[in-house]
Amino acid sequence: MDYQAFFIHSLSHLKQEGRYRIFIDLERSCGKFPHAVHHTEAGPEEILLWCGNDYLGLGQHPKILEAMTTMLAKTGAGAGGTRNISGTTHSHVMLEKELADFHQKESALIFTSGYVANETTLATLAHFLPNCLILSDEKNHASIIHGIRNSRAEKKIFKHNDVSALEAHLKSVDRSRPKLVVFESVYSMDGDISPIKEMAELAKAYNALTFLDEVHGIGLYGERGAGVAEHLGVADQIDIIQGTFGKAVGLIGGYITGKAALVDFVRSHAPGFIFTTSLPPAICEGVRASLNIIQNHPEMRHHLHSVSSYLKQKLRAQGLPVMESTSHIVPLLVGDAKLCKHLSDELLKNYKIYVQPINYPTVAKGQERLRFTPSALHTKAMVDDLVKALAEIWQAFKAIAA
């Protein structure tokens, strides 16, 4: 086996298919978000980010930085162990209490990322529940798909957000068989929101457990910012609510919340929880400060939603094909991989605006798009500049193509 040749060949295959990923070299500047520095071959230049997940700009909030530096000085850098072997610090214990309260659940459990929370919780539950059947939305995140796969339980994939498709699956199996219905609140590629209430009612009627990924809802929806389920008043109808600290919370890490026995079961069996070093206490303190801000400053999410609506309205007014998003996410359907990459390249080169092109296989061919994620720190003036730039590039490209 020629290992080197194998890797090089695989990479060139990716490049041929247009699937090779290029990361741009960024440096965030604290206090300047959504501006960042782009390191180019010609040197550093300042750009404006339109595709970040730090939705509320909390990654640079002074109160969060202060909570973190205080804890860093007090307890040092790392947690020093797995949760079981000396890595459960007072910060972990307090944060789990606060997360349970945030979602009005009995209990919470922290993981090192939202990916790990999904993967190991789903793999564990579906593996141990006898003869468990998983019902999973076709557009669920990769972390959910991998968790399901690793459980080796039987799965049925239902049509995206389709309540009757879900019911057809639920009907087809024995009522007494353990079932786990897995879906997200906000689907971040299309920006649509799932019918949480209807799904939860249906699952209950067929005695199935529900698992809801609120990764793109936390901090942005609900009176206290606990997500779409809180906003709809149905959080108590969901068995497991999963979230991340990596997006609106502004840090890193993930969690689940639910009934005490279920969470304790995951704590006791999930390899992705047990056999890994716990988050540094300074991170936990940053998250606690962040949750405090999220709960007490609804005006941040209100501003984000108003910028998002303004962006959709301006794009529409320019005749640009903004997709029917019902959330804060603003996808612009380009429908052509070349134009999509061209728009992104031109925005960066000539306007110092960065938005990542979304091409196949993340979305189907013909569904290529630019996906804008406004934050609480974007302004209407930034929207005006963005839309003006987009309209100019689009017109110029059309003129050449015609």
Ligand X SMILES: *Cc1c(COP(=O)(O)O)cnc(C)c1O
Sign of the C-alpha dihedral, residues 209, 215, 219, 220?
negative
Q: Is 301 in the site for ligand X (CB under 6 A)?
A: no
As a whole number of angstroms, the distance between CA 122 and CA 63 comes to 34
Q: Is 61 in the site for ligand X (CB under 6 A)?
A: no
- Minimum CB separation of residue 115 from ligand X in Å reads 3
In this structure, the number of other CB atoms found within 10 A of the CB of residue 361 comes to 9
Q: Is 353 in the site for ligand X (CB under 6 A)?
A: no
- Which residue among 105, 179, 247, 312 is the active-site one? 247
Q: Is 137 in the site for ligand X (CB under 6 A)?
A: no
Which pair of tokens denotes residue 386?
């963005």
Q: Give the residue with the Cβ less far from ligand X, 288 or 342.
A: 288
The amino acid present at 301, given as its one-letter code, is R
Residue given tokens 């067929």 in the structure block: 206
Q: Give the residue with the Cβ less far from ligand X, 214 or 368.
A: 214
- Minimum CB separation of residue 141 from ligand X in Å reads 4
Is residue 247 among the annotated active site residues? yes
Q: Is 52 in the site for ligand X (CB under 6 A)?
A: no
- Minimum CB separation of residue 387 from ligand X in Å reads 26
Q: Is 356 in the site for ligand X (CB under 6 A)?
A: no
Q: Is 359 in the site for ligand X (CB under 6 A)?
A: no
Beta strands (DSSP E) in 63-131 are: 107-111
- Interface residue with ligand X among 89, 107, 118, 278 (CB under 6 A) is 118
- Minimum CB separation of residue 333 from ligand X in Å reads 20
As a whole number of angstroms, the distance between CA 103 and CA 168 comes to 30
Q: Is 254 in the site for ligand X (CB under 6 A)?
A: yes
Q: Give the residue with the Cβ less far from ligand X, 107 or 242.
A: 242
Q: What's the number of CA atoms in the CB half-sphere (13 Å) around residue 303?
A: 13
Q: Is 273 in the site for ligand X (CB under 6 A)?
A: no
- Interface residue with ligand X among 215, 248, 293, 329 (CB under 6 A) is 215
Rounded alpha-carbon distances, angstroms, from residue 29 to 160, 282, 289 = 38, 20, 20
Which pair of tokens denotes residue 348?
């960066």
The amino acid present at 357, given as its one-letter code, is P
Count of residues that bind ligand X according to CB under 6 A:
14
As a whole number of angstroms, the distance between CA 329 and CA 312 comes to 9
As a whole number of angstroms, the distance between CA 103 and CA 230 comes to 8
Q: Give the residue with the Cβ less far from ligand X, 143 or 194.
A: 143
- Interface residue with ligand X among 192, 213, 239, 285 (CB under 6 A) is 213
Q: Is 192 in the site for ligand X (CB under 6 A)?
A: no
Q: Give the residue with the Cβ less far from ligand X, 111 or 310.
A: 111
Enumerate the β-bridge partners of residue 17.
none
Beta strands (DSSP E) in 245-364 are: 254-258, 330-333, 353-354, 357-358
Cis amide leading into 34 (omega within 30)? yes
Q: Is 115 in the site for ligand X (CB under 6 A)?
A: yes
- Interface residue with ligand X among 141, 301, 303, 312 (CB under 6 A) is 141
Q: Give the residue with the Cβ less far from ligand X, 34 or 246.
A: 246
Q: Is 96 in contact with 110 (CB distance < 8 Å)?
A: yes
As a whole number of angstroms, the distance between CA 73 and CA 297 comes to 28
Residue of this chain nearest to ligand X (CB atom): 114
How do the residues of the chain divide into helix, strand and coil, expressed in percent and rounded to 5?
Answer: 45, 20, 35
- Interface residue with ligand X among 120, 244, 327, 375 (CB under 6 A) is 244
- Minimum CB separation of residue 7 from ligand X in Å reads 26
Active site members:
247
Chain contacts with ligand X (rule: CB under 6 A): 113-115, 118, 141, 143, 184, 188, 213, 215-216, 244, 246, 254
